[in-house]
Structure 1
Amino acid sequence: MPAVDTGASTTVDADAVTATDSPPAPGGPAADSRLTPGGPGYRRMSLALFLAGVATFALLYSTQALLPLVSRDFGASASAASWTVSAATGGLALFVLPMSALSERFGRRTVMTASLAVAVAVGLLVPFAPSMGALIALRAVQGAALAGLPASATAYLAEEVRPKALITAIGLFVAGNSVGGMSGRIITGWVAQEWGWRVSVGTIGVVAVGCAVAFRLLLPAPRHFTPGSLRPRVLARTVRDHLSDPLLCRLYAIGALFMTVFGGVYTVIGYRLTEEPFGLPQGIIGSIFLVYLVGTVSASTAGRLVGRLGRRGALYLAAGTTTTGLALSLASSLMLVLAGLVLITAGFFAGHAVASSAVSHTAKRGRAQAAALYQSAYYIGSSVGSALGAAAFHSGGWSGTVAIGVLAVLGVVTITVFGSRAARAAVAVRSA
């Protein structure tokens, strides 16, 4: 895979074995006991993390499709109601790094289990929020609790799965995110149409309970995890090293920009579809999120896409697909708007899967912190996108939200071009 794809190093020795791998077989080479497709434990691991992804996105965005109803219930504007989404993603962004440090010390599976348990408990309290302020506060706590999932999951995969299967494994986790986002919004849409938004988010909480229990029962115990230090100086040094790596920083920015587009579009789309010329009921609006199935496919096939086009080509394709979708969404035809959402979703999930897997490939130490910094940037992008998208919609309508998205995609393209040139220059210097 060309090193110039994103400016990130993509060369990984598929036969590399961590220090905790199985000892060499008598008279033979070192055996790599990490998980691989078709091997024992791989399916259980994939299903467990898929369900964790479902629960994470279903809880994190449980109010997003319901914002018009939340606005009506509390007498709040679109910008104010959007904070029920931004607070959750912001809480996750702020706490993902500390939670990743805990996972280095206490283990990935332990931290992921505790995070899901707390997030589910808070999710069962959200329907009883007496005011907009209380709802936003509960959502912020819920987002902070969920921070233990994303970075720990990618670090777990990097340690327990063979390098050649890593992109596919991470793609399946991201696919779980898309299924959670889709099913959560569909369920909330139809339930809210009959019984209101409070019963709707409570239903998501109950679904998440089932996902959390199944996750804990299915996920194999880690075999290649080595506990790290919780000393602040060690953590600070690791974070500093990652932030001083231009390759990682470019990947962090790409993830944030893709999520700015996605957060803005899906925070505002419900308002647009309830207005003329569409005037759709809440249940139908919830069903619109079936387009997330496209994200499930594009994320889970990201590995094959990178194999054919390289990381740089995959990112360009994702950016172009997203931009085309934004343009189509400006139409007054419902079918064209839906086609636009399909393309935006496909482009976003493909770009996210490619960038997040590249982080795991690039970081040679402190993988949990590297993944945590990516997730922090990613969810900051979601918070910014939700807030800017809602503000732009309030002042300029849907075209304002689309303009924010186009600027973010241009940022992705610019960073990818810059990274490619930097990588070519580095190769030329080494060859000289």
Structure 2
Amino acid sequence: MADRRHASSRDIPFIRRGTAEFRRTNLAFLCAGFATFALLYCVQPLLPAFAAAFGVSPATSSLSLSLPTAVMACCLLVAGALSETLGRKPMMVASVLFSAVLTLGCSLAPGWEALLTLRVLLGIALSGLPAIAMAYITEEMEPSASGFAMGLYISGTAAGGMAGRVITGLLLDWGSWHWAMGAIGLLGLAAAVTFWWALPPSRHFEPRPLALGGLLANYTLHLRDAGLRWLFLEGFLFMGSFVTLYNYIGFRLIAPPFDLGQSAVALVFTLYIVGIGASTLVGWLADRYGRRTMLWSMALLMLAGLGLTLPPSLPLTVGGIAAMTFGFFGAHSLASSWVGRRAQSARAQASSLYLFAYYMGASIMGVAGGWVWARAGWTGIGWMLGGTLTLALLVAVLRLARLRPAGRG
């Protein structure tokens, strides 16, 4: 698991397309992305069950997702810096492994407080993967293949998000939420072992001593870049909108006029498969038409999808969720790879700042959505997300589309 450390890595070749290393790396990050989203978001279809089992409100039940995402967002700011000293691969493997074990612990939680405590610890453990994964891909992959590799990683997150939601939703009808979370924990363990086996050691990573002053200087450097600041905001807006949609769509679909059962709601989450193809397809289109054009197009697509969910029609709602899912994964793929290319140094810290904003969007808007749902129903959710996505569209059109390039960005 230890990274190979070199005094200089300039002459070492990058991982190239068509090689065995390229295939193993992509397999590893598919598993890593799968585990991250499956372990984090497996509770989303369980929110109504938590509300009923523990006697809490929808907004309170959403804390099982919002708390770990908020904690993970904060810890990401440190995890990226620690990986500069401890190495990329060891931290990522430990992250996936401990997260799977904690999910198994959640399945045995005796009460609401114990469940939340374990979920908070899971947020800490998971912080060791996302930002470091982005840094590893940028450092180790041939530049012409890094966008494709990032797209595959994000495709893995889509697959994990879908599997986590569908499996827990189906098992909830057949058993209990305890069994549902236990199954996801076992899948996480399998993904951790595969990730450890398949991922090549770092070859371009050069360890640096951990220095708080240097860490703060790196964050300050990135925050001074207007382009990066706008990309961080886009991550907040896109992720916040997407998570809010999926947090409360289950409550909408089990209520009149839909009156769907848990298994039927779980099948709605198979729409995540749209996201699996979106990230790689949009990455390819961005190479042809440009990131700026594709980013505002994804924001517009999400707005259109949101509009389809407003009428009390199941076919329109399903179509709207699919459009929002495609748009989100496409936008996230564009923004995250853009951050890695624009940052000229300390890319792990740049990725950490992006993901801090990304997951804080999920946490803050996820809880706020519960408050809106309780007072204004799905119409209120529509107004809330409509405003958020309109802002994301304006940022893409008025700021990012006119951004002067910086380095590789």
Q: Shared fold (TM-score greater than 0.5)?
A: yes
Kept in 1: contact 2:227–2:400 (CA 8 A):
no
Identify the residue that residue 252 of structure 2 maps to in structure 1: 272
Structure 2 residue 193 is the aligned partner of structure 1 residue 193: no
* 1:15-164 → structure 2 map (5 Å cutoff): 20-22=9-11, 33-164=13-144
Structure 1 counterpart of 2:320, from 321, 332, 340: 340
Q: CA deviation at 1:305?
A: 1.6
Kindly tell me: are residues 342 and 422 of structure 1, through their superposed partners in 2, closer, same or farther at Cα, counting changes over 3 Å? Answer: closer
1: CA distance between counterparts of 2:248 and 2:32? Answer: 26
Kept in 1: contact 2:296–2:397 (CA 8 A):
no
Q: CA deviation at 1:327?
A: 0.2
Identify the residue that residue 30 of structure 1 maps to in structure 2: none
Q: CA deviation at 1:333?
A: 1.2
2: CA distance between counterparts of 1:19 and 1:325? Answer: 49
Structure 1 letter corresponding to 2:278: S
Kept in 1: contact 2:303–2:324 (CA 8 A):
yes
Kept in 2: contact 1:250–1:419 (CA 8 A):
yes
Kindly tell me: are residues 176 and 420 of structure 1, through their superposed partners in 2, closer, same or farther at Cα, counting changes over 3 Å? Answer: closer
Normalised to the residue count of structure 1, the TM-score between the two structures is: 0.90
2: CA distance between counterparts of 1:200 and 1:280? Answer: 19
Identify the residue that residue 147 of structure 2 maps to in structure 1: 167
Identify the residue that residue 14 of structure 1 maps to in structure 2: none
Q: Secondary structure at the match of 2:201?
A: coil
Identify the residue that residue 3 of structure 2 maps to in structure 1: none
Q: Deviations over 1:41-81 (max 9, x none)?
A: 00100010110100000000111111111111001110110
Structure 2 counterpart of 1:310, from 290, 312, 315: 290
Kindly tell me: are residues 318 and 19 of structure 1, through their superposed partners in 2, closer, same or farther at Cα, counting changes over 3 Å? Answer: farther
Structure 1 letter corresponding to 2:11: S
Q: CA deviation at 1:19?
A: 5.2
2: CA distance between counterparts of 1:37 and 1:398? Answer: 46
Structure 2 residue 270 is the aligned partner of structure 1 residue 287: no
2: CA distance between counterparts of 1:420 and 1:117? Answer: 37
Identify the residue that residue 383 of structure 1 maps to in structure 2: 363
Q: Secondary structure at the match of 2:56?
A: coil
Q: Deviations over 1:121-180 (max 9, x none)?
A: 111110122222221221111011101110000000000011111111111101100000
Kindly tell me: are residues 421 and 266 of structure 1, through their superposed partners in 2, closer, same or farther at Cα, counting changes over 3 Å? Answer: closer
Identify the residue that residue 261 of structure 1 maps to in structure 2: 241
Kept in 1: contact 2:372–2:381 (CA 8 A):
yes
* 1:398-413 → structure 2 map (5 Å cutoff): 398-413=378-393
Q: CA deviation at 1:39?
A: 2.2
2: CA distance between counterparts of 1:135 and 1:47? Answer: 31
Structure 2 residue 220 is the aligned partner of structure 1 residue 240: yes
Calculate the aligned-residue CA RMSD, in Å: 1.5
Q: Mean alpha-carbon deviation: is it higher for 314-323 or for 414-423? A: 414-423
Task: Note the residue ranges of structure 1 that are not aligned, 5 or more in a row.
Answer: 1-17, 24-32, 428-432
Q: CA deviation at 1:402?
A: 1.7
Q: Secondary structure at the match of 2:107?
A: helix
Structure 2 counterpart of 1:210, from 177, 187, 190: 190
Q: Deviations over 1:241-284 (max 9, x none)?
A: 11111111111100110001101000001111110111111111
Q: CA deviation at 1:36?
A: 2.1
Q: Secondary structure at the match of 1:124?
A: helix
Look at both structures and tell me which one has the larger radius of gyration over its CA atoms. 1
Kept in 2: contact 1:123–1:205 (CA 8 A):
yes
1: CA distance between counterparts of 2:39 and 2:101? Answer: 11
Structure 2 letter corresponding to 1:272: R
Structure 2 letter corresponding to 1:303: G
Q: Secondary structure at the match of 1:397?
A: helix
Structure 2 residue 290 is the aligned partner of structure 1 residue 301: no
Equivalenced residue count is 400
2: CA distance between counterparts of 1:417 and 1:212? Answer: 40
1: CA distance between counterparts of 2:389 and 2:17? Answer: 34
Q: CA deviation at 1:422?
A: 5.2
1: CA distance between counterparts of 2:259 and 2:226? Answer: 47
2: CA distance between counterparts of 1:339 and 1:416? Answer: 24
Identify the residue that residue 231 of structure 2 maps to in structure 1: 251
Kept in 2: contact 1:388–1:404 (CA 8 A):
no
Kept in 1: contact 2:230–2:400 (CA 8 A):
no
Kindly tell me: are residues 227 and 87 of structure 1, through their superposed partners in 2, closer, same or farther at Cα, counting changes over 3 Å? Answer: same
2: CA distance between counterparts of 1:412 and 1:330? Answer: 20
Kept in 2: contact 1:257–1:408 (CA 8 A):
yes
Q: Secondary structure at the match of 1:381?
A: helix
Normalised to the residue count of structure 2, the TM-score between the two structures is: 0.95
Identify the residue that residue 10 of structure 1 maps to in structure 2: none
Structure 1 counterpart of 2:346, from 366, 370, 376: 366
2: CA distance between counterparts of 1:19 and 1:419? Answer: 38
Q: CA deviation at 1:421?
A: 6.7
Identify the residue that residue 8 of structure 1 maps to in structure 2: none
Task: Note the residue ranges of structure 2 that are not aligned, 5 or more in a row.
Answer: 1-6
Q: Deviations over 1:160-212 (max 9, x none)?
A: 01111111111110110000000111110111111111110111001100000
Kindly tell me: are residues 211 and 420 of structure 1, through their superposed partners in 2, closer, same or farther at Cα, counting changes over 3 Å? Answer: closer
2: CA distance between counterparts of 1:407 and 1:133? Answer: 34
1: CA distance between counterparts of 2:214 and 2:42? Answer: 36
Kept in 2: contact 1:268–1:393 (CA 8 A):
yes
1: CA distance between counterparts of 2:280 and 2:176? Answer: 34
Kindly tell me: are residues 131 and 242 of structure 1, through their superposed partners in 2, closer, same or farther at Cα, counting changes over 3 Å? Answer: same
Kept in 2: contact 1:112–1:153 (CA 8 A):
yes
Structure 2 letter corresponding to 1:64: Q
